[in-house]
Amino acid sequence: MIYLVTGSISKFENAKKRLSPYGIEIEMKKVNLIEPQEDSIMKVAEYKIRQAFQPLNESVLITDTGWSIPALNGFPGPYMHYISDWFTLEDWINLLSTKNEDVVFLENVAVYKDSNLTKVFISRRKGSLLKEPRGEGLPIDRIATFREDRKTIAECNKLGIDSFDNNQDASIWTQFGQWYISK
């Protein structure tokens, strides 16, 4: 059994769905983790995996996400977790309104740890930030798109479709699943 350490049921359900084709079973486990203030999503993930493993001493997985907007000098990076609690949709739109560039990068990291090894999986996807929000949900999900048809993450969530265009090979879950069944 592998424990996905998270407090997010949607994160767990997504991972479970993505790993089921590989026959990998996971269980959600809540562990109080301190999220360090670091300038790198990798540093945050590495810190969190050590915390997650220590009390369980079982195979564990953690994930983390960072958003990088080049027009804002890479902001918010690994601080998106905190920024999401403060920024409204209007804040995002105002912040981006004077910028000509709409590029955004979404970096996902998954880290697996057992008693013998630690393995890191990373995906980095390029998308766009729209001027007009669409869908319901988190503010950033209403303006971020990673699809050719320009559907936002929020729209995709409502429709139950993938937020990314046929790019599952880049997924941390595809990477992990292929690695895990071959080890």
| Residue 17 and residue 43 in contact, taking contact as beta carbons nearer than 8 Å | no
Cα separation, 161 vs 164, in Å, equals 9
Q: Is the pLDDT of residue 128 over 70?
A: yes
Q: Is the pLDDT of residue 45 over 90?
A: yes
Q: Specify the pLDDT at position 38.
A: 84
**Mean pLDDT, range 59-65, rounded to an integer:** 95
**Mean pLDDT, range 103-128, rounded to an integer:** 96
Q: What is the total count of domains within the chain?
A: 1
Q: Is the pLDDT of residue 120 over 60?
A: yes
pLDDT per residue over 80-89, tens digit each?
A: 888 888 999 9
Cα separation, 48 vs 132, in Å, equals 35
Structure tokens, 75:
């902001």
The set of residues, in sequence order, having a beta carbon less than 8 Å from that of 26 and lying 6+ positions away, is 1, 2, 3, 4, 12, 15, 16, 19, 61
pLDDT band, residue 183 (cuts 50/70/90)? confident
**Mean pLDDT, range 45-52, rounded to an integer:** 94
Q: Is the pLDDT of residue 113 over 70?
A: yes
Q: Specify the pLDDT at position 30.
A: 94
- Share the mean pLDDT of the chain: 92
- pTM beyond 0.95: no
Q: Specify the pLDDT at position 21.
A: 95
CATH of the domain at 117: 3.90.950.10
Cα separation, 24 vs 33, in Å, equals 24
Q: Specify the pLDDT at position 84.
A: 85
**Mean pLDDT, range 13-18, rounded to an integer:** 92
**Mean pLDDT, range 150-168, rounded to an integer:** 86
Cα separation, 174 vs 154, in Å, equals 22
| Residue 150 and residue 142 in contact, taking contact as beta carbons nearer than 8 Å | no
What residues make up the domain containing 81? 2-182
